[in-house]
Structure 1
Amino acid sequence: MRLALFDLDNTLVDRTEAITRWAQEFAAAKSLGPAAVDWLIKTDDDGLLPKPDFFAQARAHFGLPESAAELQLRYERRYPSHMRCPAAVLDGLTALRTAGWRLGVVTNGLTTVQQAVLDHTGLTAHLDGWCISETESIRKPDPEIFHRTATRCGTDFTDAWMIGDSPEADIVGGQNAGVPTIWISRTRTWPGSLQAPDHTTADIGAALELLLALPPSVHR
C-alpha cells in the first residue's frame, strides 16, 4: 500500500497567511497599532518559538494585563479559525486516495491547535491517520513519529514518501525514517549542509502532481 506522509503547517495549509490574520485580529483587539502585527509575526519565528515563550514576550513587550497562559489559551481558541486548505489541495488528496494511496499527517505542535486545524480545514476527512507531537510526546525529526503515523494509516514504509517544508524536521526526519522525500521550498534555497531531498517543488500543488505521476511499480 502506497503511503504519503505530509507535514501540516506551510505544507497542506498556509500557516504564514493564518498567523498574519491572527496577528492582525490580536493587534486590533488590543489597540496595539499596525507595527504590532510585524512584531508578532517576526517574534513567532514561523512557529518555532514555543508558545509559552512567545506570549510571555508579547505580554512584556506590549504591557498586557492578561497572563501569558491566558493569552495562549485565547490564541488556541482563535488561531485555527484563520487556517485554510485550498480546494485544489483537497482535490489533490482525493485524487491520491482514488489512486490507492494512504495519506497521513505528521506535525509538531500543540494538540488542541493542530487537531482543531485538521478539523476546521476539512483535512480529517481526507486522511487515514495523523500524529501530533504533543500527543505522542515525540517530535519530528525523530523517525519514531513517522513510523507511528504509518501504523495509524494502516500500512508501513514499503512504498512511502514524506512531504514537507522544513529541511530539518520533515526532510531529515523522512530520511532518518528511510523514505524518499519531497521538499516544499517556498522559494527558499536548500541548506547546503544537509543531505538533499529526493525532489524539490515550489508548493504543495506541484508535490501532489509529482506523487500522482509516479509509476505504480515504484518501491523504496
Structure 2
Amino acid sequence: MKSELGHIVKEDYINRFIEIDNHGYVWKDKVYDQLCNEFRVVNLSSEILLQDYLQHFKHSCVAFPSMISMLDKLKRNNLRLGIITNGYGQFQMDNINSLRMKTYFATILVSEWEKMRKPDPRLFLRALDRLNVAPHESIFIGDHPENDVKAAKEVGMIGIWKKSIYWKSADTDFVIDELDEIPAIIEKLNSKSFA
C-alpha cells in the first residue's frame, strides 16, 4: 500500500481522515471513499483500505489512562457493569478484547447486533434490563453529550460526562477529566443511597 499512497503527505491524510470521520460518527466506508477521491488514489480501492482498517485497527487501540485500575476497583465493589457502543459487532468486540476489557462487563450491547443505535432510549433500557437494575440506580459514563449522557439521563440514569476536546459542555450530573474519578463519585452517590 505504501506505493499507492506514497504521493500523499502523511499528516495531511491523517488530518483529513480525522476531519471526515467526525470523531467516529461517520462509518469508514464513506471516509475511505472520500479520501480516495480527494487524494486521487487510483491503484487502491476504498474497499481494500476499509478491510485493512477492520483487520488492523484493534492493534492500535489505546485505553484511557487508569481505565483498567478503575474497572478493577468497580468490579471489587461488586458493581454490575455494561457497555453500550455504536458500531459493527465484531469490529467493536475485537477492540474491546484488544483493550482486555471484556471480562469486567456483565453485558455488552453493540448497535449492529441490537438493531438500534445510541441515543435510542430502548438501547439503554435493554442494557438496564439485562443488568437487572433500575434506571435511577444506574450510572452511564460517556464522552458524547447527546448520544451518551443526555440519552442516559432521559431514561432516568445518572449521567457522567468524560470531558472531550471535541465538545465544550454537556447537560449532566457529573463531569470528569479522568476515569479514576468515577469510584469517588459512586461512593458519594452510595452514601446518599441514590436518593
**Shorter-chain TM-score range:** 0.7 to 0.9
Aligned CA distance change for structure 1 residues 210 and 71 (closer, same or farther; 3 Å) = same
1:37 & 1:78 partners in 2: Cα distance? Answer: 16
2:185 is aligned with 1:210:
yes
What is the Cα deviation at residue 41 of structure 1? 1.7
Match 2:110 to one of 125, 128, 132? 132
Q: Partners in 2 of 1:107 and 1:46 — Cα distance?
A: 14
Q: 1:30 to 1:213 in 2, by over 3 A?
A: farther
Q: Equivalent residues in 2 for 1:85-164 (5 A)?
A: 85-86=63-64, 88-157=66-135, 159-164=137-142
Alignment check: 8 A CA contact 1:104 1:153 kept: yes
Instruction: Assess, with a 3 A threshold, how the Cα gap between structure 1 residues 208 and 113 changes in structure 2: closer, same or farther.
Output: farther
Contact 1:162-1:180 at 8 Å conserved across structures: yes
Question: When the two structures are aligned, how many residues end up with a matched partner?
Answer: 191
Q: Secondary structure at the match of 2:21?
A: helix
Matches within 5 A, 1:16-35: 30-31=5-6, 32-34=8-10, 35=12
Structure-2 residue corresponding to 1:190: 169
Larger radius of gyration: 2
Question: Identity across aligned pairs (percent)?
Answer: 21
CA contact (8 A) 2:82 2:108 kept: yes
- For 2:158 and 2:68, locate their aligned partners in 1 and report how far apart those are by CA, in whole Å: 22
RMSD over aligned CA atoms reads 2.3
2:23 corresponds to: 46
- Shift in Å, 1:216: 5.0
Q: Is the 8 A contact 1:130 1:152 kept in 2?
A: no
Larger mean CA deviation between 121-130 and 199-208 belongs to: 199-208
State yes or no: 1:55 paired with 2:45.
no
| Paired residues of 1:141 and 1:176 also in contact (CA < 8 A) | no
The gaps in structure 1 that reach 5 residues or longer are 1-25
CA distance in 1, matches of 2:94, 2:131: 19
Instruction: In structure 1, give the amino acid aligned to 2:79.
Output: W
TM-score (norm 2): 0.86
**Superimposed CA distance per residue, residues 27-82 of structure 1 (whole angstroms, 9 cap, x where no aligned partner):** 89832223222222222121112222111101112222333222212111111111
Which runs of structure 2 are paired with 1:174-189 in the superposition (5 Å)?
A: 174-186=152-164, 188-189=167-168
TM-score of the superposed pair, with normalisation by structure 1: 0.77
Q: SS where residue 214 of structure 1 aligns?
A: helix
Measured after TM superposition, the shift of residue 108 of structure 1 is 0.8
Letter paired with 2:190: P
Query: What amino acid sits opposite 2:98 in the alignment?
Result: H
